[in-house]
Amino acid sequence: MFCVFRVRLLRTASFRLAALYLALFTASALALGAFVYLSVRREILTDFDERIVEETDALKSDFADGGRERLAAIIEARGKGGAGFSYGLLSREGGLIAGDLRVPSAGVAGWTDAQEADSEEPAESTAEVIRTLVTPLADGSSLLVGDERRRPDEILAGVLTAFAWAVAATLALGTIGGLWLSAHFLERIDSMRQTARRLMDGDWTRRIPLSRTDDDLTALARTFNRLFDRIEKLLQANRQVSADIAHDLRKPLAGVLRRLEAARDDPSAAASREAIGAAIGDVEGVLDTFNALLRIGQVEAGARRAAFRPLDLADVAREVAETFAPAAEDEGKALVQRLDVPLPIAGDRELLVQMIANLLDNALRHTAAGVRIEVGGEKTAGGIALTVSDNGAGVAPGDRAAIFQRFYRGGESRRSPGTGLGLALVAAIADLHGLDCRASDNRPGLRVTLATAAETE
């Protein structure tokens, strides 16, 4: 099991990205380290040579002041390593006059490698060599000033060792960090996969757990959860639609059958015409129900999204309210507008007209004479909000969410004509336009609010 997990871990995109980043970082660190090492090496060796040159210049001044004897005395007094240097004073023939440095051959000038005078090893062997500056003097002798290169070499070796440990630590920590991050992301992706499998098995109550860190995977999980919410809602609606149709269409179809049988058995032509007319009315009601269902299905499928255009929802609501105003006046109801601010939205004008018309028709249909119906709009922190409210009897708190379901008819509305699909169509159109549809208490009466849905990502 662990081996399988390890193989999956190494194949994850997060681990591959971490490994690629680690490789690029290591290559960059090596290139930078090489540059730093060469720069430090150059500075150290330059400083090393400058110290030898400065010591040589000082001894040349002593030679100019006191000649070979004084120079030899100074060299002997300082001795080997007295100031961190090695010295040598050679005759014209190459014999050692003072000090302890020698060169392989006489007549050499400038920078060379020298050895201590008591060493029997040749300069090219593994014997310790000393970087030396050979300076010819005015009397034909040669001044040798050298310093062991071991000290700068030790410094550079220490730099290389420290850099190697730093690279090794970086690789180790980077690998551990990459494995940890990959395991963390793999665990979250496995959670998404398990949720998807549960959903495929029919458990639509499952949702992807959200992490406390608001990162890309959390945003993706939140988006998927919203998608699952919508799918669950559509599946529930599809499961209910057959039962709803059977329940709500059984009565009108039974009425059609009864009237047609009565017309068949009644010898009176007038009675037959009346029964057939009533049956036609029932069939038209059935067709209206099917047309409303088809329209809701088209809206929920998003088929009308291509017709979206920028428009002012306040203007649309104002036109619809003016259309309904005469009907409200005839019924003894006051229909007022409070649409003082523009409500910009991208949408299908025909559908928005249908949405507002259904709300006003519902308010007129289910309120008594003397009520006040108000259409209002306002800007909100989340965007815009359109409200249709009345001061009638209202809806019971437990029924407010249900009024937007298909075929729902509660309370007194059961005794009034209608399909029970008007507010379901309102909810579908609102959802298509990114609006939350909520019913609340108007104290007294009912308030329906269509507000820009809060963005959760």
Judge whether 216 lies within some domain: no
Judge whether 318 lies within some domain: yes
Question: Can you give the pLDDT at residue 387?
Answer: 93
Beta-carbon contacts of 440 under 8 Å, excluding residues fewer than 6 positions away, are: 400, 446, 447, 449
Q: Is the pLDDT of residue 245 over 70?
A: no
Which of 29-43, 169-183, 193-207, 282-296 is predicted least confidently?
A: 282-296
Does a cis peptide bond (omega within 30 degrees of 0) precede residue 444?
yes
Do 278 and 312 belong together in one domain? no
Do 146 and 245 belong together in one domain? no
Question: Can you give the pLDDT at residue 206?
Answer: 82
CATH code of the domain in which 362 resides: 3.30.565.10
Q: Bigger pLDDT: 19 or 109?
A: 109
Judge whether 172 lies within some domain: no
Summarize pLDDT for 381-439 with one digit per residue, the tens: 878 999 999 988 888 777 777 787 776 666 555 555 556 777 888 888 888 888 888 88
Residue 364 and residue 373 in contact, taking contact as beta carbons nearer than 8 Å: yes
Question: Can you give the pLDDT at residue 2?
Answer: 44
As a whole number of angstroms, the distance between CA 277 and CA 43 comes to 109
What percent of the chain has a predicted confidence (pLDDT) above 90? 10
Judge whether 331 lies within some domain: yes
Q: Is the pLDDT of residue 13 over 80?
A: no
Do 239 and 338 belong together in one domain? no
Residue 171 and residue 179 in contact, taking contact as beta carbons nearer than 8 Å: no
As a whole number of angstroms, the distance between CA 195 and CA 235 comes to 17
Q: Looking at residue 226, what DSSP letter applies?
A: H
Do 310 and 296 belong together in one domain? no
Interstrand relation of 130-136 and 110-116 (parallel, antiparallel or unpaired): antiparallel
Do 146 and 265 belong together in one domain? no
- Distance, C-alpha 41 to centroid of its chain: 46
Do 393 and 437 belong together in one domain? yes
Q: Which of 153, 174, 207 is the last residue of a domain?
A: 153
Judge whether 24 lies within some domain: no
Judge whether 120 lies within some domain: yes
Secondary structure, 3-state, 62-95:
HHHHHHHHHHHHHHHHHCCCCCCCEEEEECCCCC
Domain that holds residue 270: 230-300
Query: Among positive and negative, which fits the CA dihedral 55, 56, 62, 66?
Result: positive
What does the chain come to in residues? 457
How many domains are contained in the chain? 3
Judge whether 70 lies within some domain: yes
The reported pTM is 0.48
Question: Can you give the pLDDT at residue 123?
Answer: 44
Q: Is the pLDDT of residue 71 over 90?
A: no
Do 319 and 417 belong together in one domain? yes
CATH code of the domain in which 245 resides: 1.10.287
Do 81 and 115 belong together in one domain? yes
Do 264 and 357 belong together in one domain? no
pLDDT band of 106, cuts 50, 70, 90:
low
Judge whether 33 lies within some domain: no
pLDDT band of 311, cuts 50, 70, 90:
very high
Mean pLDDT of the chain, nearest integer = 77
Mean pLDDT of 25-54: 83
Question: Can you give the pLDDT at residue 272?
Answer: 67
Mean pLDDT of 293-304: 63
Q: Which of 153, 175, 199 is the last residue of a domain?
A: 153
Do 325 and 241 belong together in one domain? no
Q: Bigger pLDDT: 18 or 142?
A: 142
Q: What is the DSSP string of 149-213?
A: THHHHHHHHHHHHHHHHHHHHHHHHHHHHHHHHHHHHHHHHHHHHHHHHHHHTT-TT--PPPPSS
